[in-house]
Amino acid sequence: MTELHPDLRENVRMLGELLGQSIRRYPGQDCYELIEEIRAAAKSDRRQESGSGQRLVNLLGKLSDDELLPVTRAFNQFLNLANLAEQYHGIRRKRGHQSDLMVESLGEVFDRLKTGGVSPEELHQRVADLRIEFVLTAHPTEVARRTLIMKYDEMSDCLAQLDHDDLMPAESEEIASRLSQLVTEAWHTDEIRHERPTAVDEAKWGFAVIENSLWQALPQFLRSLDISLQDATGKGLPLRASPIRIASWMGGDRDGNPNVTHKVTRKVFLLGRWMAADLYLRDIQSLRAELSMWQASDELKAVAGDSREPYRHVLAELRDRLIKTRDWAEASVNGESADVTGILFENEDFTGPLELCYRSLVESGLETIANGPLLDTIRRAHTFGLPLIRLDIRQEASRHAEAVAEMVEYLGLGDYLSWTEQERQDFLVQELQGRRPLIPRNWEPSESVGEVLATCEVVARQTPQALGSYVISMASKPSDVLSVILLLRESGMKYPMRVVPLFETLDDLRGAPESMAALYEVEWYREYCQGRQEVMIGYSDSSKDAGQLMAAWAQYQAQEKLTHVANQYGVHLTLFHGRGGTVGRGGGPANRAILSQPPGSVNGSFRITEQGEMIRFKFGLPRLAVQSLTLYTTAVIEATLAPPPKPEDSWRETMDWLTERSLKAYRDVVRDNPDFVPYFRQVTPEQALGKLALGSRPARRKATGGVESLRAIPWIFAWTQMRLMLPSWLGSDVALEEAARDNRLPVLRDMMQGWPFFRTYVDMLEMVLAKADLRIASYYEQTLLDDDKLKALGESLRKRLQGCIQRLLELKEQTQLLEGEPVFAHSMRVRNPYTDPLHYLQAELLKRDRESEGKGEVPELVERALKVTMAGISAGMRNTG
C-alpha cells in the first residue's frame, strides 16, 4: 500500500498539531478531547470493513447544540489544511525531493516531438502561433472565504521557508511561530460567507488572482518557454508572442444572472483598467531604477532628446500617463467626471515605448539587460494588455431575438419571431450590408431589450484587447449569431468581435455541425469572421441532460464533425471547452483530457473555462500557476503536432451501442421515475445549498421547476455531499453490465489500450466511484427518508452503484479501485476520518433544519453548523460542483 510522501505526511501532521493546539486554547477544554474521540471512532469504523459507523453515530448523536459548531469547524479546518499541504507538496523544491505531482517539462515534450519527426521549423512556428486562453468564471463553487484563502497562501509561504536546509534555529522558530499564528487566526475566523458576493466582488477576486499569482507566474513561464524553444529549435519566442491569454466571465456572464447588468459590466471594464494601470505603474517604477544606462540607439535618442538617461526619460513619460490612466479609471468607477487627456487606452500606446527601449538596448549591445525585467513587462503587456483581462459577454439567444423583434415591430416591418429562419437570415444580412441605422432615434424599448442594447453599447466602447468572446447560450441557428453582430454594429462597434455559439444539450450537440455549416454558407458572415471561428462546447448541461457517458461521446462526435465542417469551408476552428472541476462537468486531469480530444480538433488553439475552487488549485500560487501553464501548453502542443489516432469503426459502433443503453438507463431514472425528484430533494442538501452565499448567481434558472431548471453546479454539488456521486455513473452501470453479458469486455479493453478518449473516460469513472461511499449514502437515506417508495429507490440506486464498481473492476482487471493511482487512493484514506463525521453530522443537521423550518425558525447554531459541513465536505472531496 503506497503511503503519502514522508515530507507531505510530516506537513499534514505538523499543521494538524498546530490546529489541535489552537483548539485546546478554545474556551472549554473538553472540546479537543471530544474531537479526538470522534476522530478515533471514525478511524476505527473505517478499519472494520463491514462496520456500520455505529460508534461514530452514537458519539455524534450525543452532541449538544453548543458542541455542534466547534466539532464541525475542527474537521472542516483540518481538511482545508490537508489540501494546503498537498497543494504545496506539488510545487515544493526541497533538495532531493521529487514531487508526486511534477509535470513533464517543456524541453522533454519538445525532444519527444522532434524524435517523432516534427521538424524544428514546424515546432517553432506552432509554438510562436499558439493561442491558449483561460477563462476565469464566476461559477459559484469556491466555498472558502477570500480572507481565509489569503491566510492559507501565507501558510504555504511558511512551509516553503521551512524547507530551506540552511536556516538558523532562531529563523526556524520565527517561521514556525508565524505558522502557528496563522493556523490560530484561521481557527478563529468565520469560514462561512454570510452575504452573497456581488458580480463586481467576483470580478475583483479574479483580478486578485492575476495580481497575487499570474502577474509573477506568466513571465516566469514565458521565460522557460523561450529557453526551451531556443534549445529545441535554435530560435526563441518572438517578442510580441502571447501564447497564453486570460479572459473572464466575471461581470460579463448575464445568462440566468439578473445581477449582471450593463452598469456592472461597465464598472468591471473600468476596474480592470484601474488595476492594470496600478500593476504596470509598479513595473515602470522598478524599471526606471534598473535602466540607468546612457548608451542608446538613434531611434531612442530622437524621442528622449538630449537626456543623459534616455531610458528613464521615456519611462518617466509612461509613468505619468499610467498615473493619469489610474486616476481616470478610479474617477469613472466612482461616477465622477475625469480628464481623458494623456491617458493610455490603446495597447500600442504602452507597448510602443517599451519595445523602443528594448530595441535600443539590443542595438547598443546590452541584450542581457534587455532580456531582464524589461522583457517581463513587455510579455505582460502583450498578454494582459491595458484592460488587464479580456471580458467575455454571455447572453441567451432568445434575448437577442426579442431585441430585433421589438425593433422590427416598431418599424412596421412584420413579426420577426414568426418568420422562418431563412427570412430572418435574409433580413439580418440585408441590414448588415446596408448603411442606414436600424435603431429608431426616438424609440423606447422595453426594459429587457433596453438592457441588451445598453450592454452592446458598453461593449462597443471598448478596445479589441478588452474583449474576449460574445457567447450565445441556447444558440442553434445562423440568425442567433447574425442578430448579435447586428445589435453590436447598431451600438457603434467598429471591428469584428468574436461571436461564439454555445452548444450544450444532447440535441444541441448533435445539431451543432449542421448549424455551423449553415452559418458558413452565409457569404457575408464568412467575410466577417475572416477565416476564424470559435465554438463553445458545454459539458455541464449535456451531462445533466443525458448522463456522463452519452454526453462524453456526444461531445467527442460534435467536435469531430465541427472540425470537419470548418475544414470544408477553410475556417480555423477554436473549440472553447466549458468544463467544470468535477468529472460530472467535464473535469479531470487537464493534460489527459486535452490529449484525448479528437485528432485535428486541437489545432494550435484552445480555450477553456476555469472556475471556483479550481482557479485556486491551479493558479492560486505563482509556482503552482507556472506548473499549470506548463501542463496545458505541453498538452496543446502535443495534441496539435502528434494527435491521437482516429478510433476504429468497430470502436465507434461499440460506443454507439454503449451510449444507447446508458442514455435510456439514465433518463428512465432522472426523467421518467416519478419518485426521483422527491428522492433527490429529500436525501441531498440541495434545498439547503442556497444558504451558502457562494456566488452572485441564483442556483436555479427559474424560481420553480424540477431538476431540468436546476443549474449543473448545485446538481453535482448535492450528490457529492452525500457521496452517491450519481450524475457521473448513472447509465454507465447498465452499459457496462450489458457489455459484460454480451461478452464485449475484451473489445472495451482494446478501446482502453488504443483510444485515449475511452481510456480517459474509464479512468475518470474510476476516480468518481472511488469517491462514492455506499455506507454514507445509506445513512443519509435512513436519516432523511420516511417514504418507503423513496427508500426503495435509494436501495436500488446503491445496488446499481455497487454493480458499477464491480463491472469497472472486472473491466480493468483489478481487485480494488485506484490500483493505478496509489497516491490519490491514500489521500482519500487520510481524509476519510475527517469527512465521515461531517457527513453523519450533516444528515442529522439537515433533519433538524427541516424539522425546525416546519416549526417556523431554525436555530442559528444548527444553520451555521450545517453550512460548515457543506464547506468541509467540499474540501474533503477537493471539489464542489
pLDDT, one tens digit per residue, over 344-388 is 999 999 999 999 999 999 999 999 999 999 999 999 999 999 999
Cell of 296: 542608446
Distances (CA, A) of 104 to 110, 115, 218, 230, 514: 10, 16, 18, 18, 39
Amino acid identity of residue 69, one-letter, is: L
Active site residue 544: yes
Q: In 3D, which of 802, 758, 780 has the Cα closest to residue 658?
A: 758
Which residue is catalytic, options 5, 139, 313, 867? 139
The C-alpha atoms of residue 390 and residue 604 are separated, in whole angstroms, by: 20
Confidence of residue 102 (pLDDT cuts 50, 70, 90): low
| Burial class of residue 121 in the structure, from the number of CB atoms within 10 Å of its CB (0-12 exposed, 13-18 middle, 19+ buried) | exposed
Q: How far apart are CA 696 and CA 680, in angstroms?
A: 24
Highest mean pLDDT among 6-10, 598-602, 869-873: 598-602
189-224 as b/e: b if 16+ CB within 10 A: eebbbeebbbbbbbbbbbbebbbbbbbbbbbbbbbb
How many CB atoms are located within 10 Å of the residue 166 CB?
5
User: What's the CA gap between 822 and 220, in Å, rounded?
Assistant: 32
pLDDT above 90: residue 571: yes
The residues, any chain, with a CB within 8 Å of residue 617's CB and separated by 6 or more, are 87, 581, 624, 878
Contacts of 171 (CB under 8 A, 6+ apart): none
- 247's enclosing H/E stretch is strand 244-248
pLDDT band at 809 (very low <50, low <70, confident <90, very high): very high
| Stronger pLDDT, 694 or 283, i.e. the higher one | 283
Question: Does 691 participate in catalysis according to the annotation?
Answer: no
pLDDT digits (tens, 9 = 90+) for 701-743: 554 555 666 666 788 889 999 999 999 999 999 999 999 999 9
Share of the chain above pLDDT 70, in %: 93
Exposed/middle/buried for residue 704 (C-beta within 10 Å: 0-12, 13-18, 19+) = exposed
Give, rounded to a whole angstrom, the gap between the first and last alpha carbons of the chain: 30
The residue from 89, 544, 771, 812 that is catalytic is 544
Residue 335's φ and ψ, nearest 5 degrees, are 75, 20
Give the model's pLDDT for residue 324: 97
Identify the H or E element spanning 550. helix 548-568
Cβ neighbors of 518 (< 8 A, separation 6 or more) are 477, 478
